[in-house]
Amino acid sequence: MSLQNPVFIPGPTNMPEALRRACDLPTIDHRSATFPNLLNAARSGVRDVLKSQVADVFIFPSTGTGGWETAIANTLRPGDTVLAARNGMFSHKWIKMCQDFGLRPIFKDVTWGEGFPTDWAEDQLAKDTGHRIKAVLITHNETATGVTSNVAALRKALSDTNHPALLFVDGVSSIGSMDFRFDDWGVDVAVTGSQKGFMLPAGLGIAAFSPKAMRATEQGGLPRGYFNIQDMAASYKTGGYPYTPSVGMLNGLKESCDMLMGEGLEAVFARHRRIADGVRAAVRAWGLDICAAHPDLYSDTVTAIKTPAGFDAGQIVAHAEHAYGVSFGAGLGDVAGKVFRIGHLGSLTDVMTLSGIATAEMAMVDLGLDITPGSGVAAAQNVYRKGKSSTLSEAA
């Protein structure tokens, strides 16, 4: 892989130079008076990105997987029942973690490419008159398949059935890139990481807790040490950490939130939607299919592209890296070898994306697929030119 080229994997994402510099700090005493201002600014920035007034934000030296563990270990008890759907690699892994902790998942296997089955969940919640189900887990944006599920609809199902279960949302590949409404959607725990929409290196696991979720942390929980919310909350009151924090990464997170808010969240979301529309136009021009089953599910941060039956999609990923120094995402789990993924999130522009589309075309042509060189690029250019025209006209 060439370090001169942007990456088109769905995380870690390309890092703006300003954020690289923000993480590059001299040693700061994390027990000094300097640190609390940095910590509080990072937490406040994340809360703004979540569109929340009530979220209690916790930032761990970890990744999104640590955020999953934080969510379940601090709010649930051994043997508790959780409700989930297995519709991709990351929902699958969260379910497995629940099983590893001795929880009892009720889950539905869904064809990969479909979204969270809200009707099924509502039926399960309605039947659970004894309220055995303590939490419902949903992956907002399934990175393996490029599928976005409807969190607001799941909250409505909980409300319509008057069910008290907590709502846990994996927003690892959506938060910071796609609209996320912690308060409006009634989310109880949102999980993300530093390496996707926040455009930073991997290294921070972020978990935002609602007041209801915070109350649940006071009622027991699963075995935990490092990811103990109570310890973290107590340290935050004095502007500290229960152990050594990643000071440089926290400064990067603060700067990232400032950058996102400076661009404007709605502008950030519109940019991701436009870039994604261009990628999807390219896929149609190639005559290929998208893994997401229908347009309502299309992700604005990653597109999983099906290759013809009998063709190993992993060849495209390997060849693009070897021949052109560009990285794309391989298929995972149930769709391994069947799809390759173009990540289009974080620090990315229309022009950068065109280079990725062109590279994918070259790789597919090299491997003998029936792709017309330039077809996808032209289709994406049409989207991006139209996307720019209204802005240029208004400026004139």
Q: Is 5 contained in some domain? A: no
Read off the DSSP letter of residue 6: P
Amino acid residing at 31: R
Q: Are residues 119 and 231 in the same domain?
A: yes
Left if phi > 0, otherwise alpha if psi is -120 to 50, otherwise beta: which for 137? beta
In the chain, DSSP assigns E strands to 56-61, 81-86, 104-109, 133-139, 141-142, 147-148, 166-170, 189-193, 204-209, 289-290, 302-306, 329-330, 339-343
The pTM score is 0.94
Rg (CA), the chain: 21
Cα atoms in the 13 Å half-sphere on the side-chain side of 51: 16
Q: Are residues 251 and 298 in the same domain?
A: no
- Is 3 domain-assigned? no
For residue 7, report the phi and psi dihedrals to the nearest 5 degrees.
-95, 150
**Tens digits of per-residue pLDDT, 290-319?**
999 999 999 999 999 999 999 999 999 999
pLDDT of residue 391: 32
Query: Is 311 in the same domain as 354?
Result: yes
Count structural domains, the chain: 2
The answer to the question of residue 380 being in a domain is yes
Residue closest to 369 by CA, chosen among 265, 295, 296, 287: 287
Q: Verify that 258 and 351 share a domain, yes or no.
A: no
pLDDT of residue 393: 28
Half-sphere exposure of 257 (CA within 13 A, CB side): 21
Strand ranges inside 140-210, DSSP E: 141-142, 147-148, 166-170, 189-193, 204-209
Of 262, 288, 310, the one marking the end of a domain is: 262
Q: How far is CA 276 from the centre of its chain?
A: 15
Low-confidence ranges of the chain (pLDDT < 70): 1-2, 388-396
CATH number of 318's domain: 3.90.1150.10
Domain that holds residue 233: 17-262
Residues 253, 268 within the same domain = no
From the DSSP assignment, how many helices (H) and strands (E) are in the chain? 13, 13
Asked if the structure places residue 52 within a domain, the reply is: yes
**Domain end residue (candidates: 230, 262, 294):** 262
Based on the domain organization, do 268 and 227 belong to the same domain? Answer: no
Boundary residue ending a domain (229, 262, 295): 262
